[in-house]
Amino acid sequence: MQGTAADRGGFARLWWGYAGLGLILTAGIIITALLMRTPPVPQPVAFNHRKHTGELGLNCEFCHVYVKKSAHAGLPDAQTCTVCHQTPQGTSTEAARVTALLAEGDPLNFNKLFALEPHVFYTHRRHVGIAELECRGCHGDIAETERPPARPLVRIDMDFCVDCHREQGQTLDCNACHR
């Protein structure tokens, strides 16, 4: 009988030992995952896609000028915003800040959010200009965002490209995408 109680004590210690180790491992995995996340992409002003594309009805090409013509869609610069924000627009403090920044001659350098490694060749001209694929399919609901996303809304990796190419009978040749 005494032996069993001691066994139980030993079992309890062992159990708490494993539980503790499990907790430490879980915490370790969470911390590593957080550290390995890509860093957030900063932007000079809190641009609001929903307001400009939805309420104001501007089309994507107004700001992403080369989306049908070139590899890169292009990001707008201060000149594009000046068209309207040279004079105050709306009542928000962020809109007032845009007008103030433009008056100071700030170039409003927007940073790229979706970016492939340089060894991959991708062109908007083929996918948007020719195949007429929707932006949403690759970029998610960015047109509905009210402030710049810190990270891409869709993870575009090799499987993402190859899955669609397989479905649509497009090239799977390594050299078509890696040049």
Residues 106-125 that bind ligand HEC (CB under 6 A): 108, 110, 112-117, 120-122, 124
92 contacts ligand HEC (rule: CB under 6 A): yes
Counting other chains too, the contacts that 26-32 makes at CB distance below 8 Å and 24 or more residues apart are: none
| Proportion of the chain in helix, strand, coil states, percent, rounded to 5 | 55, 0, 45
Residue from 20, 130, 150, 155 in contact with ligand HEC (CB under 6 A): 130
> Rounded CA gap, 120 and 99, in Å?
38
Position with the least CB separation from ligand HEC: 90
Q: Which is nearer to ligand HEC, 62 or 69 (CB)?
A: 62
Question: Using the rule CB under 6 A, which residue among 65, 69, 75, 106 binds ligand HEC?
Answer: 75
Indicate whether 174 belongs to the interface with ligand HEC (CB under 6 A): yes
